[in-house]
Amino acid sequence: MDQRLLSLLRINSRATTSSLARELGVSRSTVQDRIARLERRHVIAGYTVRYHEDFDGRLLKAHVMIQVSPKHSVQIVAALTNIAAVKTLQTVSGIYDLVTLVETVTTQEMDSVLDAIGQLPGVEKTTTSIVLASKFER
C-alpha cells in the first residue's frame, strides 16, 4: 500500500487525505498514519511544485555532460550548486564525470549559463544536448 500511496503523491502531492483514502480503499486516518510514518522513516523528504505542461514546454532545457579535473571536482560541484539554472547534478561513469540539467527561459540565458560552466576552474570539457521534447516524467 505504501508504494501505491507514494505513486499517488508523486502524481499530486496536494491530494487530500480523503481522496487518497478513497483511491486506496482505506480510512483517512490510515492514510495520515502512513504518510507520517513515511516522513519519519525519511522515505518522503518533502513536497514540491511541478510546472504545468504549457509553462514547462516553453522552458529551454539542456543536458550538459562535464569532464572535470579530479583535483577540482569538489569546487566545481559547489559552484554548480550556486547556479540557479542548474536543476540537477549527477556523477556518472564514462568519459564524463558529471551530468547536469540546465533550464532557462531564453537562448541568451542558456548561452550565458553554458559559458559560466565552461569557465569554471577544472572543467576540462563539456558537451551539451538541447532537450527537444519530454515524452514522460515521473
Q: What is the pLDDT of residues 14-23, one digit of tens each?
A: 999 999 999 9
- Close Cβ partners of 29 (under 8 Å, ≥ 6 residues apart): none
**Which pTM does this prediction carry?**
0.76
Our count of domains for the chain comes to 2
* Residue (of 61, 70, 63, 115) closest to 89 by Cα position: 63
Within a domain: residue 53? Answer: no
- Report the alpha-carbon distance of residue 23 to residue 45 in Å, rounded: 23
Domain that holds residue 66: 58-130
Residues 35 and 78 in one domain: no
Within a domain: residue 135? Answer: no
Residues 65 and 117 in one domain: yes
Within a domain: residue 33? Answer: yes
CA 22 to chain centre: 30
The pLDDT value recorded for residue 19 is 95
pLDDT digits (tens, 9 = 90+) for 39-64: 999 999 998 887 777 788 889 999 99
